[in-house]
Structure 1
């Protein structure tokens, strides 16, 4: 696999994780139930993809700004990890301001990354 293809695949995984985080609460709950995991899995999937993109950034094929577009999501997830464990409950996914903010950040990041990849 070429370096360019590795970078593209990493960004596609990041976009997939971002889209899940941007989805409404019912879609997110259905997603984790289908996987048989808790809501924290969405954060773990994002983290894996974010770190993968970080690892391939600078090889010359990714537009600058992909990491910066996704960083607010990473920052929000870091803040959420310092909160009580209840933030990772399905009830919290549906009703907490932390998850609402995360969805807004993810929506903006997804649009920004997609625009960067289309230029």
Structure 2
């Protein structure tokens, strides 16, 4: 099977970062609008992050953002391993240090790649 178009893969990564970078209130509104749970934010990033190395090799992503992307992955992975399920509640988006750290890093990557971090939140189609 052929891998997706590099521009499509880059867009997926940037959209996942855009959602991760958004302020907590916007994230909560986005989750409610799409009727999905908080961990979808982390799952979207996880899927897109797997393509980051290839995007760098293809010249579609700056090598300098890889450390921040890896740190976001580590933060979210640590949160996933936590026994505290409260970290995955919508309220945690505004108070949990892990979410705040991931948000800061995502903003830094978006500024490096796009010149600014504030982008329109992505639209998704949920298959039920």
Count matched residues.
111
Contact 1:53/1:67 (<8 A) preserved:
yes
Structure 2 equivalent of residue 21 of structure 1: 20
Aligned residue for 1:35? 34
Q: Which runs of 5+ in 2 are unaligned?
A: 116-128
In the TM superposition, what are the counterparts of 1:4-83 in structure 2 within 5 Å?
A: 6-55=5-54, 57-58=56-57, 60-65=58-63, 66-83=65-82
Offset at 1:62? Answer: 2.5
CA deviations 1:16-61 (Å, max 9, x no partner) are 1101111100100011111111110000011111113345553x34
Q: What TM-score, normalized to structure 1?
A: 0.79
1:69–1:112 CA contact under 8 A, matched in 2: no
SS of corresponding position for 2:37: coil
After superposition, the C-alpha distances for 1:43-102 in whole angstroms (9 at most, x for unaligned) are: 0011111113345553x3424515444222112111211222211101111211221111
Q: TM-score, normalised by structure 2?
A: 0.74
Partner of 1:92: 92
CA RMSD of aligned residues (A): 2.2
Return 5+ residue gaps in structure 1 as ranges.
none
